[in-house]
Amino acid sequence: MPQLNLQKTEAALAALESPSTALEWVEKGRLLQRLERNTSALTAFGKALDIDPALEAAWMRKAILLDELDRTEEALACYAALIEHHPAHVAAWSNRAGLLLREGRFDEALHCLDHAIASDPEGESNALLCLNKGLLLLQAFDRPAEAMPFIERALPLGFPEAAEALEICQQALSAQNA
């Protein structure tokens, strides 16, 4: 981090010496994380959650930091807690799916992608979520017929992976019908 930004971050942190609200604790945690004082950042996010156990920003920032620290199970637990408080939180479902995919827990990842897609069926991220679900169905479960409609929903956005995956689906279905 350039020296000027470091000084600004340190100054902002000094101004938050004694946070009194959950959002102030989240901001303190964000600043601490920026300074790579991750243990203190996690403590700050925890204090925010002590004040407001349903605070989306605290759960999300804590989960992301835990993931960055390769503490996957704790990050998954944070996303689960966030989802418990906010069942239609698309990013929580999507991020949880990504962690589960990375861990090879495909059934659980598929479940999370289903929830993410259902939580915001017309949202901007929906096509990408559908592509991810289609790729998962195709690659992990070898179910090209199920994957195809999800992959097709991503085609209009021009994802190169979508065109390639659609071709693989079509070839697999042709081979099955031959």
pTM of the model: 0.89
Residue 177: per-residue pLDDT: 83
Residue type (1 letter), 111: H
- The DSSP annotation for 41-107 comes to HHHHHHHHHHH-TT-HHHHHHHHHHHHHTT-HHHHHHHHHHHHHH-TT-HHHHHHHHHHHHHTT-HH
Predicted confidence at residue 3, as pLDDT, reads: 66
* pLDDT value of position 161: 87
Closest CA to 55 of 67, 44, 68: 44
Which class is domain 87-178?
mainly alpha
Mean pLDDT by 10 residues, the chain (178 residues): 76 89 97 95 98 98 98 98 97 97 97 95 87 94 94 88 92 87
- Architecture (CATH level 2) of domain 1-86: Alpha Horseshoe (1.25)
- Residue 27 CA to residue 12 CA, distance in Å, equals 9
For the chain, give the longest Cα–Cα distance: 70
| Residue 84 pLDDT | 98
Q: Tell me what pLDDT residue 87 has.
A: 97
Q: Kindly calculate the radius of gyration of the chain based on its CA atoms and give it in whole angstroms.
A: 20
What are the structural domain ranges in the chain? Answer: 1-86, 87-178
Query: Do the domains 87-178 and 1-86 match in fold?
Result: yes
Q: According to the model, what pLDDT value does residue 158 have? A: 83
